[in-house]
Chains A and B, each alone.
Chain A
Amino acid sequence: MSISKMSVPTPGEVLAPLALQRRTVKLTGWRLAALVAGVIAVLSFVRIVTGATQIDSAGTIAAAIGLAIPIGMAGLGGLWSERAGVVNIGLEGMMILGTWGAGWAGTLYGPWWGLIAGAAFGAIGGLVHAVATVTFGVDQIVSGVAINLLGLGITQYLSALVWPGQPTQSPSIPAIGTFTLPGFSDAMATIAEKGWFFVSDCASILRALTFQVPYTTFIAVALLPITFFLLWRTAFGLRLRSCGEAPHAAESLGVNVYLHKYIAVVVSGALAGFGGGVLATVLAGIYREGQTGGQGFIGLAAMIFGNWRVGGLGAGSLLFGYTQAMQLRSGDAVHALLLAIVVALVVLGVWMLWRRKFSGAITSLVVAGVAFLWYVTTDTLPDQVAYVTPYVATLLVLSLASQRLRMPAADGKPYIKGQDH
C-alpha cells in the first residue's frame, strides 16, 4: 500500500521515476544530427580560441573510441542483466576474468582466441552470479560484491600458476589486425591539419574512424544494434525484458522467468568478459593485474547514464571514454575543455531561457560563469580532474535526473516462483 512508498528503497527501487515528469523530447534522427553537429561546433570553436588542438585531434578521438569500447561492453552486459531484473555489480569481476582469459589464451593461441576466452571467462562469472541470485535468491548486491572479490582471487592464482616468473602480468599478446581506408584516411588527416572551423574537426573524426581501427571496435559497435534488435525486436527479447518489468505477469503468461534470467546474466558476463578481453588484447597488448581499474563500474554508470537503453549507453560510454582519453593528453587540452563546458552551458542556458525554464537557465548560466572564472584564472587543470570526471558526471546525472531515469520495474528484486509480490 501507500506505506511502502515511505520505506527505504531497496537497491531495486532506487531512482523511482515520477511517471508524469518523464516527458522528454524524442530524439529523432535530425535532432541527433543537430546535437552531434553542435558538439563538434563547440569543440571546434574552443580549439580555435585556445589553440589546444588535442581536444579533438584524430589521435584523441581514436583513443576515446578505443577506451569507450570496454566501458560500453561492460555497460551492455549490465543492460542485459538489468533488463532481466538482475542487478549486476559483479561486472567488474567478470571483466577481470575476461582480461585474464584474454591474456592466457591470447598469448597461447593468438588474440582472437584471447577474445573468445575472455568472453567465456566472463560468462562463467555470469553463471555464478545467476546461480547465486536466480536459483538461491541471494541478495544481488551481495552476490555481485562476492563475485568481484572472487574474480580477483581466481585470476591472481591462475596468473601465478601460468606465469610463475612474473605473476602480475602476462607475456605480450600478439596485436590484432586493424582497418585503414587507404587514401581517404590520409586525405582526412590533411584536411584536419588545416585547422578550418568545423570542417577540420569533422575530418579529424573521419580520420579516427578510418585509420588503424582495430577490428574489435567494429564487433563491439555492432553489438549495440544487435542487442537492441534482440531485446526490442524479437519475442525472446520481449520475454527477457518482461522478467525485469513484471516477472509475475510474465510467468502467468507462460514465460519461463528463471531461464530468461539465466540467459541474460550469462550473456551479461560474456559481454563484460569480452570488454575485458578488448582491454587486454587491443588496448594494452598484455594482461596486467588490476588492469580493469573499475572500468566495469564505469560501464555500469554509463548504462545508468544512458537510462537502461542501448543508444544512451553508447553515448555515455563515448563520453566516459573521451574523458579518459583526455587524461592521457596534455594539461592544456583539459584546460581548454573547461571552456567547452562553459560554451555548452551558455548554449543550454539560452535554450532554457527560450523555453521559459528560468530556474534551470539561471543555474546553468551561473555555473557557466563560475567555470569561466576558473578558466581565466588558471593555466592548467590538475590531472585528477579528468580522472574523476566520469564518476562525478555519473553522480551529477543521477542526482539531477534520477526522476527522469527509468530502471526496469522489478530490477534487483529476487523473484521466487509462485510467491506473491
Chain B
Amino acid sequence: MSHAATQGSAHVEGQQHPIKLYLIIWFWLFVLSTCSYLVDYFHFEGYLRWFLILLFMMVKAGLIVAVFMHMAWERPTLIYAILVPPVAVLVFVGIMVIEANYTLLTRLNFFFPGS
C-alpha cells in the first residue's frame, strides 16, 4: 500500500479534532465531577440528591461517549447499533425494581409480622 493510500485511509477511518475541544471537555468533566462530589459533601438528600447525581452522571457519560469516544462523528448506523441495545438494561432495571420491592415486602412480612 502506498504512503498516499495509507494517509487516505487514515483520513477516511480516523478521527482528528482540535486538541482544544478535548481540553474543554476535560475541563467540564472536572467541573461536573466536582459538582457530584459536592452533592455528597453538602449532604443533599432525597429526590434532589437522586436527581443531581443522575443528571451529572448522564452528562458526564454523554460527553465521554460523544467527544472522547468520537461517537458524535460516527454514522447513525454505528450510533444506533451501540446505543440502542442498552435501553434493554433500563427495562431490566424496571423489572428488578418490581422484584426487589416484592422481596422486601415478603421479608418485612416474615421478619416483622403484624407491623
| Co-assembled chains A and B | no
Q: Taking beta carbons and an 8 Å cutoff, which residues of B are in contact with A?
A: none
